[in-house]
Structure 1
Amino acid sequence: MSKIQCIACGNSVDVAGLSIKDFYYSGDMFSISTCRHCGLQSTQPKPLADKLAGYYAPEKYISHNTGKGGLFLRIYQLVQNVNLFLKLRGITNMGTPKGALLDIGCGNGAALRYFNRKGWRGKGVEPASEARRHAISSGLEVFEENFLDEASGASFDLITMWHVLEHVYDVPERLKQIRRLVKSDGLVVVALPNPGSYDALHYGAYWAAWDVPRHLYHFSQKSVELLAMKAGFEVTAIRPMWFDAFYVALTSEKYKKSGYFGIITALLIGFWSNFVSGRGKQGTSSLIYYLRPR
């Protein structure tokens, strides 16, 4: 059986694991390898970088959607506004004053626009050309990924990655780039799906947040702490994301072809997942990690 090295703890990991279908787009099959030491999981095989773009459909990938959609998209956007309020409140509660913001993987710029309206001086990075063009056309400063190497060091008070790090090939290198860019007293905020959540365990191979092969890594809390430490950060807080369980459960039921009854099931699973997370240590469907430079 072939082995790979865990990027978080360095231990040897079996490539074979849980088989997952790309329900969202291609229908291709992948597997999830799991490190028994730190819990980091990774998608196998990973598509080559120049092939991965073919697994994205911008008109379907909701953070990149730039036009009008149906009821589901409108509900998503309504919940997104509440989520943005909660995200900003969480950052404010961490004692971070308004200043220079870099939103990596900003998509169509929804979060960046919101933070700018609230007094931040924001810039964005977005690799998807269509989403980047839309963000720029709305008046935002958004750059390609090479900006991360070209920007001046220690120039941002806040760097955010909202469900982005799981899409990155070289996670340690990306965290090193961010460590160079954030100020010594700055804050880095990383939102990630949580494969240890109740809804992940309930749905198994149908869990929508596997999102293979677009999600290259699936992070345990321990693996995030190890990767952060190696890059010169300390995880100072971990907070829940309450709405994600409902969106993930609805999409998972869609993958299961549950019909209208699946909507009721998804709502129940979402509520129960959040309830269980408040009584244990596994956390909500997604988690927000707050990192400070060491």
Structure 2
Amino acid sequence: METVQQCPVCGNNTFTTYLICEDYLVSSQKFTIKQCQECSFRLTNPRPDANSIGLYYKSDQYISHNDKSSGPINTVYRLVRNYTLRAKLKLINKLNGKPGMILDVGCGTGAFLESCRAGGWQVSGMEPDPDARAIAIDKLQADVKSNLKDFKSNQPFDIISLWHVLEHIPNLDESITLLHQLLAEQGTLLIAVPNSDSYDAHYFKQYWAAYDVPRHLHHFTPSTIEPLFKKHGFVLTDQLPMVFDAFYIAMLSTRYQTGRTDYLKSLQVGLASNAQAKQTGNSSSLIYIFKKA
């Protein structure tokens, strides 16, 4: 285990305990989420170090790292994913005006990049998990690297996307600096992360599945992610809701809370979360759209 001494957003070194959550996927261990006393940024602290974090991803139910996870929740996930993949492709085409070069960071088994390639994009991926990366390489027959440092900034990307990935990255400052270097001057950076200030996060508290400790090292909100990227030379131009996430996360959360999936409650909480988000902007998950300042 390692302890983070300074807030990655504001540099403050004093934290308070926000929640204590259990790892329901792999270890059943409990982990503490701390909150910065200065800017309210939340992070899992202490957390597994680089040598041990991989053990917490070793689950057949970790759906982004394999294409064969079974069960009703994962079946629902895949049905919704087919729709959201089309929506993501439509979004990047709108933002860029035409197909170009895209880098998907944390590409998993390559489902999104497969859609992009079919839409005319030149695709590259980064995926640290060797098993998922092997599947992506076989599927895409494209450049999929294990580290951002392996990409060269002399061929900048028009779009760089991180779909539910930033919360897994331990060194935020170093990684965001690299993203800035790899992005074209007029390019777009897409960051999709859970929002720990959403209705469903407050409703489920320590059972909220999107805390996903210890795999999720950081727990973002609109008020903390913008200053983090601003200090690295990015400007936030828009944020978009991910409406399906409220329902999927609620299904997992009810299972963590009671031991079984309560589909009716999941529907009710998902609807309530999306309804409140229309007023507050605090969707269960958000896509943040950044440009270079």
Amino acid at match of 1:7: P
1:4 alignment partner, SS class:
coil
> Who is 2:172 aligned against?
171
Residue 68 of structure 1: how far off its partner (Å): 5.7
Amino acid aligned to 1:276: Q
The aligned counterpart of 1:17 is: 18
Deviation at 1:10, TM superposition (A): 1.8
Report what 1:273 is aligned to: 273
Please give the TM-score of this superposition, normalised by the length of structure 2. 0.94
Which residue number in structure 1 is paired with residue 54 of structure 2? Answer: 53
CA contact (8 A) 2:26 2:59 kept: no
Distance, in Å, in 2 between the alignment partners of 1:172 and 1:97 is 31
The 8 Å contact of residues 125 and 144 in structure 1, kept in 2 or not, is answered as: yes
State the percentage of identical aligned residues. Answer: 37
Distance 2:36 2:109 in 1: 34
1:135-214 alignment runs, 5 A limit: 135-214=136-215
Aligned twin of 1:6: 7
Equivalent-residue separation in structure 1 for 2:97 and 2:192 (angstroms): 17
Please tell me the residue identity of whatever aligns with 1:10: G
**Which letter maps to 2:267?**
L
Q: Secondary structure at the match of 1:189?
A: strand
Q: Which residue number corresponds to residue 291 of structure 1?
A: 290
The separation in 1 between residues aligned to 2:4 and 2:83, in whole angstroms, is 43
Structure 2: gaps of 5 or more residues: none
**Which structure 1 segments of 5+ residues have no match?**
none
* TM-score (norm: length of structure 1): 0.93
Q: CA offsets per residue over residues 207-246 of structure 1, 9 Å max, x none?
A: 0000000000011212211111111111111110000001
SS at match of 2:31: strand
Distance apart, 1:92 and its partner CA? 3.3
Alignment of 1:201-240 (within 5 A): 201-240=202-241
Q: Does the CA contact (< 8 Å) of 1:65 and 1:108 recur in 2?
A: yes
Q: 1:182 to 1:19 in 2, by over 3 A?
A: same
Local SS of the residue matching 2:38 = coil
The amino acid across from 1:80 in the alignment is: R
Matched residue count: 291
Counterpart residue type for residue 254 of structure 1: R
Q: Secondary structure of the equivalent of 1:5? A: coil
Report if the CA contact (8 A) 1:235-1:289 is conserved. yes
Residues 13 and 33, structure 1, Cα contact 8 Å, conserved in 2: no
- 4+ runs of 1 displaced by more than 6 Å? none
RMSD over aligned CA atoms reads 1.8
d(CA) in 2 for partners of 1:107 and 1:209? 18
Cα deviation, 1:92-111, whole Å, max 9, x if unaligned, reads 33354310000000001001
Q: CA deviation at 1:73?
A: 2.3
SS in 2 for 1:113: helix
Q: Is the 8 A contact 1:126 1:142 kept in 2?
A: no
Distance (whole Å) between structure 2 residues aligned to residue 88 and residue 150 of structure 1: 23
**Offset of residue 263 of structure 1:** 1.3
In structure 2, distance between residues paired with 1:130 and 1:57: 11
Q: How far has the Cα of 1:258 moved from its partner?
A: 5.2
User: In 2, Cα distance between the equivalents of 1:76 and 1:41?
Assistant: 27
